[in-house]
Amino acid sequence: MSVRPMLPGSTIGILGGGQLGRMIGLEARRMGYDVVCLDPTPDSPCGQIAREQIVAPFDDVGAARRLGKASDLIVYEFENIPFPVVEMLEQEFRLPQGSRILRISQHRGREKTALAEAGFPVAPFRLVGDAAGLRRAVHELGLPCVLKTCAGGYDGKGQMVLNAPPDLEAAAAELDAGPPLTGEWIVEKFVFFLCEASVIVARQETGQTTTYPVGENAHRANVLHSTVVPARIDRALQAEAEALGEDIADALGLVGLMAIELFVTPGGLIVNELAPRPHNSGHYTWDASVTSQFEQLLRATGGLPLGSTRLLTPVVMINILGEHVPAVLSGMPCFPDNVKVHLYGKRGAPAARRKMGHLNVLGGDPDAVLHWADRLYQGRAI
């Protein structure tokens, strides 16, 4: 299969104007492409670096069609885009990522079902629509469990951990109060894990596939705090995770980029979630890899050869949340020379837990780097 390459001088349309769109756009501009984006927030992070931002809601089909007419190729930067809009763009314009994998990843029930039916390891789960269904699911799975909305949740939003019968009753009362936007919840058996990890895989329409080294992730209050690369897990497990990522990409017909979030358990790897676009845990690639995940997305969707995913140096990526911004700005004059600062250009006062940027710390001992970051964020001397 041959795919017409998208050469510099063409225009990349980005559906979404957040930080991922910004970083995709910056790489596109560096490579010689023009950039337009669509986002409802004026002066969005991507809009600041694009030739044009179309300011409109994501469900505005007319605005999406304007984006399509202004673009030679379209990519989306996050999952929570109305499916009919993406389907229209796929039918009328060049959107290689397609709508099928987006539809699967937008709904946790569809995602888990697709993975399980394809034979990939997932936690036992049940779909429920009311309190009675929740009680049946918990009876079958046993406590502890995690109750999640099937759509719309991220960074721990729309999730409840059920450790004991009182937690179950509190969750049942919430379901009785009214369903989530999707009308469905998913109950998953709680997974006891040694660590969390992720692997990012790129795949072209031709089937050419490549993976990035496995990252070891740590979350705080359900928000990703850090990614250590290479992950401090057994090499055989790293190879297994990379192979798993390629197999999932092939099974789902991925075109573009996908992150596979994993639990590393004593019994092996469990697939937690999929994200069919650049991922927070891959931000390290900007400074520490031959090819960043953002350039790789453009290569994979644009019909260019996939770039090398070789790691140039060990790295720790640390998120900058709203509450960390003052410490980062005041500490920058004293940062070591191996610290790379990335801020996303988000306007307004930084809100707590909002992702405002990230640090890539190149080389060094990961534990020492994480200790340094903790001291920085606590306002202590660095």
The CATH number of the domain holding residue 175 is 3.30.1490.20
- List the structure tokens of 222: 């359900």
Residue 155 has pLDDT above 60, yes or no: no
Query: Is omega for the bond preceding 144 within 30 degrees of 0, making it cis?
Result: yes
Look at residue 281 and tell me if it is in a domain.
Answer: yes
Provide the pLDDT for residue 348. Answer: 84
Are 310 and 275 within one domain?
yes
Coil/strand/helix, residue 294: helix
Residue 6 has pLDDT above 90, yes or no: yes
Are 177 and 62 within one domain?
no
Listed residues 189, 219, 244: the one ending a domain: 189
Listed residues 143, 164, 189: the one ending a domain: 189
Look at residue 382 and tell me if it is in a domain.
Answer: no
- We report the CATH number of the domain holding residue 69 as 3.40.50.20
Are 322 and 273 within one domain?
yes
Provide the pLDDT for residue 184. Answer: 84
The CA distances from residue 18 to 178, 206, 347, 350, in Å, are: 31, 29, 11, 15
Are 308 and 219 within one domain?
yes
Residue 156 has pLDDT above 80, yes or no: no
- Angle between helix 131-141 and helix 165-177 axes, rounded to 10 deg: 150
Are 257 and 330 within one domain?
yes
Provide the pLDDT for residue 237. Answer: 96
Provide the pLDDT for residue 382. Answer: 64
Listed residues 134, 158, 189: the one ending a domain: 189
Look at residue 2 and tell me if it is in a domain.
Answer: no
Residue 264 has pLDDT above 50, yes or no: yes
Strand 223-229 versus strand 315-321 pairing type: antiparallel
Q: pLDDT grade, residue 32 (50/70/90)?
A: very high
Structural domain boundaries enclosing 179: 124-189
pLDDT tens, position by position, 42-93: 999 999 999 999 999 999 999 999 999 999 999 999 988 999 999 999 999 9
Structural domains counted in the chain: 3
Are 214 and 326 within one domain?
yes
Q: Whole-structure pTM over 0.85, yes or no? A: yes
- Count of other CB atoms within 10 angstroms of residue 288: 23
Which region among 1-15, 173-187, 211-225, 277-291 has the lowest average model confidence (pLDDT)? 173-187
Residue 251 has pLDDT above 80, yes or no: yes
Are 258 and 209 within one domain?
yes
Per the DSSP assignment, residues forming a β-bridge with 318 are: 226, 359
pLDDT tens, position by position, 267-286: 999 999 999 999 999 999 99
State how far the Cα of 128 lies from the Cα of 361, in Å rounded to an integer.
43
Q: Residue 361 class from Cβ within 10 Å (0-12 exposed, 13-18 middle, 19+ buried)?
A: buried
Coil/strand/helix, residue 350: coil
Are 342 and 214 within one domain?
yes
Provide the pLDDT for residue 175. Answer: 84
Q: Give the amino acid at 124.
A: P
In this prediction, residues 185-213 reach a mean pLDDT of 97
pLDDT tens, position by position, 308-364: 999 999 999 999 999 999 999 999 999 999 999 999 999 888 889 999 999 999 999
Provide the pLDDT for residue 381. Answer: 63
- List the structure tokens of 203: 């795949």
pLDDT tens, position by position, 96-112: 999 999 999 999 999 99
Are 53 and 68 within one domain?
yes
Provide the pLDDT for residue 181. Answer: 44
Q: pLDDT grade, residue 182 (50/70/90)?
A: very low
Residue count (the chain): 382
Please, where are the H alpha helices in 187-278? 235-252
Are 246 and 335 within one domain?
yes
- We report the CATH number of the domain holding residue 368 as 3.30.470.20
Are 184 and 255 within one domain?
no
3-state secondary structure 61-126: HHHHHHHHHHCCEEEECCCCCCHHHHHHHHHHCCCCCCCHHHHHHCCHHHHHHHHHHCCCCECCEE
Provide the pLDDT for residue 29. Answer: 98
Look at residue 71 and tell me if it is in a domain.
Answer: yes
Which residue reads 């790789």 in tokens?
A: 296
Mean pLDDT of the chain: 94
In this prediction, residues 101-128 reach a mean pLDDT of 96
Are 269 and 290 within one domain?
yes
Look at residue 367 and tell me if it is in a domain.
Answer: yes
b/e 318-338 (16+ beta carbons within 10 angstroms → b) = bbbbbebbebbeebeeebeee
The CA distances from residue 331 to 101, 302, 338, 356, 364, in Å, are: 42, 40, 14, 16, 19
Residue 234 has pLDDT above 50, yes or no: yes
Which is nearest to 111 in space by CA: 127, 97, 91?
A: 127
